[in-house]
Amino acid sequence: MDFHQSRVKLMNKNVTKTTILVSGAAGFIGFHVVRKLLNEGFVVIGLDNINDYYDVNLKYGRLRETGIEQSSIKYGEMVQSTKYHNYRFIKANLEDRQAIENLFSTEKINIVCHLAAQAGVRYSIENPHTYIDSNIVGLLNILECCRHNKIEHLVYASSSSVYGMNSKIPFSENDRVDHPVSLYAATKKSNELMAYTYSHLYQLPTTGLRFFTVYGPWGRPDMAPMLFATAISEGKSIKVFNNGDMKRDFTYIDDIVEGIVLTMKVIPNKNSETPFCSLFNIGNSQPVALMDFIQTLEDCMGRKAKMEMYPMQAGDVKITYADTTKLEQATGYKPNTSLKDGINCFAKWYKNYYK
Ligand SMILES: NC(=O)c1ccc[n+]([C@@H]2O[C@H](COP(=O)([O-])OP(=O)(O)OC[C@H]3O[C@@H](n4cnc5c(N)ncnc54)[C@H](O)[C@@H]3O)[C@@H](O)[C@H]2O)c1
């Protein structure tokens, strides 16, 4: 593996003495990251406001898997996990500046993995304010706390949506990303600029990860894989946009989590390409036609899908395709889950969870 030793500092610490704050811990990606970090022996603090953008029972279900019971959760109070001695959880809003400042001043946090955000492209058309509160004010509060508490590395979630209508494929970190086609994308692009500024002004090591459609067990009910699985299992119609003429760089959750945890350990320093600041695509680099995804899901669910064809939706793009060379070179990231295996694991979880 080429870890670019001259450009980055590798984390060289006893994991049991390293405390990582994971925001969005009740969310899809955050939950899986928390589990992986706990299994590696890190001390983890999870944060989430458990909002009702989608079914909160799924969020409480994820928390339960990590030993956090719904009945023990109170706003602003730390809860000890009953399953993991090295895990605690706090319910708080990112935009609650006092709550976030209190957390950072009472806990000795080393690394922050900031995944909490108002996600979703389509929802941002109807609910613009939520995106500014959670994604812009939220990140500002996190950046300020990282700056004042000498956090060693802030890894935060960006999105492939920053590429907008980019027609050049695969999408490279060197491509222009100043034509966002949804407010969600604009907030993610703003996050990258805000992180750059804090790296530049305060030498805060930051790494942004641009995720490409992530799927897998405990996935998001507002995203295509879960919407499709639900429609197939209930015998209802799937809404297929742009008449199915779309491709997505679907990435399996375990590959993403592996990449996030590898990234946390590779800390950009003053000799980095951009001092103290990194930005990577994290995808599968194998875009899949939407109709192929549906067919594989039908096979794994053991049932045919009914489909209704619709035109392209506002804010949507036709193809996403990640060039992940930069992340591979920096961290050794190598996604290795085939679509068939990934969908199979997802379908098994889905049938078991919703039976
Ligand atoms: N899943 C994907 O395919 C994908 C693709 C691109 C980018 N992303 C980004 O990755 C991150 C994680 O995504 P996910 O799929 O796990 O989403 P998710 O919605 O499942 O998780 C986000 C969590 O953040 C919490 N949250 C939202 N606003 C908050 C606030 N103001 N204060 C505290 N908590 C808040 C929510 O309750 C939720 O549990 C997000 O930043 C998202 O924008 C995800």
Mean per-residue pLDDT of the chain = 94
> d(Cα 345, Cα 29) in Å, to the nearest integer?
16
For ligand 1, whether the C-beta of 127 sits within 6 Å is: no
pLDDT given at position 211 = 98
Q: Ligand 1 centre and the CA of 123: distance in Å?
A: 13
Which residue among 155, 214, 346 has the greatest number of ligand 1 atoms within 8 angstroms of its CB, and so is best to mutate?
Answer: 214
Choice among 184, 215, 333, 350 that is catalytic: 184
Active site residue 184: yes
Residue 21 CA to ligand 1 centre (angstroms): 15
The stretch 79-107 carries a mean pLDDT of 98
Say yes or no: CB of residue 116 within 6 Å of ligand 1. Answer: yes
Render pLDDT for 183-207 as a digit per residue (tens, 0 to 9).
Answer: 999 999 999 999 999 999 999 999 9
Q: How many CB atoms lie within 10 A of CB 10?
A: 12
DSSP string, 160-209: GGGGTT--SSSB-TTS-----SSHHHHHHHHHHHHHHHHHHHH---EEEE
pLDDT beyond 70 at 6: no
For residue 37, how far is the Cα from the chain centroid? Answer: 15
Whether the Cβ atoms of residue 31 and residue 66 lie closer than 8 Å to each other:
yes
Q: Which of 48, 64, 187, 213 to mutate to test the pocket of ligand 1 (most atoms within 8 A of CB)?
A: 48
Here the tokens at position 100 are 């976030």
Tens of pLDDT, residue by residue over 281-324, are 999 999 999 999 999 999 999 999 999 999 998 767 889 999 99
For 190-206, give one letter per residue: b (16+ CB within 10 A) or e.
Answer: bbbebbbebbeeeebbb
Per-residue pLDDT at 13 exceeds 80: no
User: Interior CA angle at 348 toward 344 and 350, to 5°?
Assistant: 115
Query: Using 50, 70 and 90 to split pLDDT, how confident is the model at 9?
Result: low
Tokens 């930005």 sit at which residue?
279
Among the ranges given (13-17, 94-98, 258-262), the one the predictor scored with the smallest mean pLDDT: 13-17
Rounded average pLDDT over 20-24: 98
**Is 216 close to ligand 1, i.e. is its CB under 6 Å away?**
no
- pTM: predicted TM-score of the whole model, two decimal places: 0.96
Pairing of strands 111-114, 288-289: unpaired
243 or 115, which is more confident: 115
Question: How far, in Å, is the centroid of ligand 1 from the Cα of 284?
Answer: 20
